[in-house]
Amino acid sequence: MINRNEKGSSAVEFALVVVLFLTLLFSIVEYALMSYIHLTMQHAVREGTRYAVTGRSDDGQGNDLEYAHFDVGDEETRWLANGRFNAMVAKIHSQSMGFFDRVLDPSDIVVTDVNGNDTQNHDWSIDYDTNGNGVEDAGEGWNYYYPGNPGNIIVVKLNCTWHLLTPFLKLFFTNGEYNFTVSSTMRNEQYTAS
């Protein structure tokens, strides 16, 4: 005979076990997803760097990316002026299995030399005259990222952030975010600069 006080205990025990089991299961799945995203972005940066060192400034489909996706008057985006940099970003985007927009902003892509110095170049082809005297004076120009010159060794780093979905895993990461950096180092080919 079942005691009246024990009638609902099986359901309560089952509910507790299911909650713990599902929490553990989803945490394992998200941890595996984090590892997959990390490896995918490592592959993407390696492929993007490999494309950049060839000296190409197209997207691989014949579309020239020089001065694409930026406004020279906007200080936030004008560093994207270089076609080789844009081609590299396009290759990283295409190789990221759709995670590019979820974990990365193009401003989180950093190109440096092996000593950690930014690889930037001054753009003299665009008139940037802030004081209106008709001449680009010292300090009025601006620099943009580019993946180095022929023969230079470049380091491409992606600073990525994955926002965790599982509440249990969020407890173990600052602000509930998995921050990671992937990078690739290669020497530019002796391409002919255009």
Task: Domain ranges for the chain, please list them.
Answer: 11-187
DSSP assignment string, 11-24 = HHHHHHHHHHHHHH
Q: What is the pLDDT of residues 85-141, one digit of tens each?
A: 888 888 999 999 999 999 998 778 888 888 888 776 555 445 555 666 666 665 555
Q: What is the pTM of this model?
A: 0.76
**What pLDDT does residue 10 have?**
83
CB 156 within 8 A of CB 184: yes
Angle (nearest 5°) at CA 70 between 40 and 127: 140
CA–CA gap between residue 109 and residue 91 (Å, rounded): 13
If residue 39 lies in a helix (H) or strand (E), which one and from where to where?
A: helix 9-52
